[in-house]
Amino acid sequence: MGCANQLCEAEPFTALIYRRSSCLLSGEGVLRSQSRASLEYQDVRAAGKRLRLGDLAEKLGISTATVSLALRDSPLVAKETRQRVKDYAAEVGYIYNRSAASLRTSQSDMIGVAVHDILNPYFAEVFRGLEEVLAEEDKTILICNHRDMLKRQDQFIDTLLQHRVDGLILCPSVGTSPERINQISEQGVAITLVCRDLPGVQTPCVRGDDYHGSYLMTKHLIDQGHRQIAMIGGRRQSSSGRDRNNGWRAALVDAGIDPDEQLDIPELMTQADGQAVVPRILSAIPRPTAVACFNDLVALGVLTAVRRAGVEPGPELAITGYDDTEGVQNRTPALTTVANGAETIGREAAQMMLKQINGEPVPSGIKLIKPELRIRESAPPIGCRLGPVVGV
């Protein structure tokens, strides 16, 4: 796999500086330039300062109070005045100062969102749902990737509280204490949990029905004739890991099958984890005929490694995922999985958050989004020899 080209010999990702024709002046103060020759700013007294409400007021010959109200479209100001103010503000490029407003109102119009892995397409979808709703209400979203590190999550929460966020949407890190959450909530910050529940917490939660989804999936595998069904991945300290595990157990028990503890392998979350665990699965005695994975990432990892090991994913070993993330229907074989309503979860959580912020009554407790089985190719009936899709 040697690289034929001479340029590949350089060390990876070294950086070259190319100069543009129009050169940027470097050195202190360049970007904080004092010269403000540009049109609209000529009249501001102190050069280098931005326009304030007061400046607009002075120009327009009205008070700052009126300007403030006008810009916020208050009915206390005559329509005509409102328009005049807004037009002028736009004309001179006035920039509202949220720090000042926040200080005064102790509202920030910011919502913090913390999840353990934004790179996981599943969360990306949740995020899309959140953003869709919150952007509509002019909320700014602050994101944190805590990677299940409690310290990072705590740091992030501290920062958010310092910014006086209106609310916090949290997929709580492993180890999060319910007391901390309740305490923050008592401080007047709206909190909604997503994806993972936390026992003992008094804030709303929106998540998929992991137990039920996992039950459905396991039952499906049983219906396909499987008896040796492994359950791999998921953290037992998170509700999703626990619930999906319990769903698997319950389905087995309901079918009169004793869960084989050797086939219960927790703590895997990523594609790499999925790849790494395959030898263990293939060498188990008796060897499972189906593997129910905690999420799609793990399933894809398993799929890859199983194929490398010379076992054909699907016909020779059924593999299922969870989440139905984008693209898994296009894999070979197409992944049988559980759609989790990620975007719906995001939207619902955002709406719940907005209600809390506006002081509207919020349906208390956990809101469960109903999961849906997506039957595709990676978990065919046992013994049923589906040809691989790849033509040969």
Nearest Cα to Cα of residue 167 among 207, 200, 204 = 204
* Binding partner selected for residue 68 from DNA, a second copy, none, CB under the kind-specific 5 to 8 Å limit: DNA
Q: Which residues contact 197 (CB under 8 A, 6 or more apart)?
A: 205, 207, 239, 366
Q: Of these, 200, 261, 285, 383, which contacts a second copy (CB under 8 A)?
A: 200
Least distance (Å) between residue 4 CB and a second copy: 6
Tally of CA atoms within 13 A in the half-sphere of 229 that contains its CB: 33
Q: Other C-beta atoms within 10 Å of 371: how many?
A: 25
Write the binding mask 124 to 153 for a second copy: x where contact by CB under 8 A, - elsewhere: x--xx--x------x-xxxx-x--------
47 binds DNA, rule: CB under 7 A: no
Q: Are 112 and 165 in contact (CB under 8 A)?
A: yes
68 binds DNA, rule: CB under 7 A: yes
Least distance (Å) between residue 50 CB and DNA: 6
103 binds a second copy, rule: CB under 8 A: yes
The interface with DNA within residues 316-345 (CB under 7 A) comprises none
Query: What Cα–Cα distance (Å) separates residue 230 from each residue in 46, 258, 287, 302?
Result: 71, 12, 9, 12
* Binding partner selected for residue 359 from DNA, a second copy, none, CB under the kind-specific 5 to 8 Å limit: a second copy
Write the binding mask 208 to 227 for a second copy: x where contact by CB under 8 A, - elsewhere: -x--x---x--xx--x----
Least distance (Å) between residue 291 CB and a second copy: 17
Q: Which residues contact 341 (CB under 8 A, 6 or more apart)?
A: 208, 369, 370, 371, 372
74 binds a second copy, rule: CB under 8 A: no
Which window, 67-75, 169-177, 201-209, 288-296, contacts a second copy (CB under 8 A)? Answer: 201-209
The interface with DNA within residues 94-113 (CB under 7 A) comprises 96-97, 100-101, 103-106
- Residues in the chain, total: 392
45 binds a second copy, rule: CB under 8 A: no
52 binds DNA, rule: CB under 7 A: yes
Query: What Cα–Cα distance (Å) separates residue 51 from each residue in 57, 58, 167?
Result: 11, 11, 30
Residue nearer to DNA on the CB measure, 85 or 299: 85
CA dist., res. 366 & res. 206, Å (int): 6
Amino acid occupying residue 188 = G
283 binds a second copy, rule: CB under 8 A: no
Core vs surface per residue 213-228: b (16+ CB within 10 A) or e: bbbbbbbbbbebebbb
76 binds DNA, rule: CB under 7 A: yes
Least distance (Å) between residue 330 CB and a second copy: 4
Q: Of these, 67, 115, 169, 190, which contacts a second copy (CB under 8 A)?
A: 190
75: left (phi over 0), alpha (psi -120 to 50) or beta: alpha
Q: Other C-beta atoms within 10 Å of 331: how many?
A: 19
Residue nearer to DNA on the CB measure, 65 or 386: 65
Q: What number of chain residues touch DNA (CB under 7 A)?
A: 27
Least distance (Å) between residue 52 CB and DNA: 3
Give the pair of three-digit tokens for residue 70. 């006008």
280 binds DNA, rule: CB under 7 A: no
Q: Are 329 and 376 in contact (CB under 8 A)?
A: yes
Enumerate binding residues for DNA (CB under 7 A).
49-50, 52-54, 61-66, 68-69, 71-72, 76-78, 81, 96-97, 100-101, 103-106
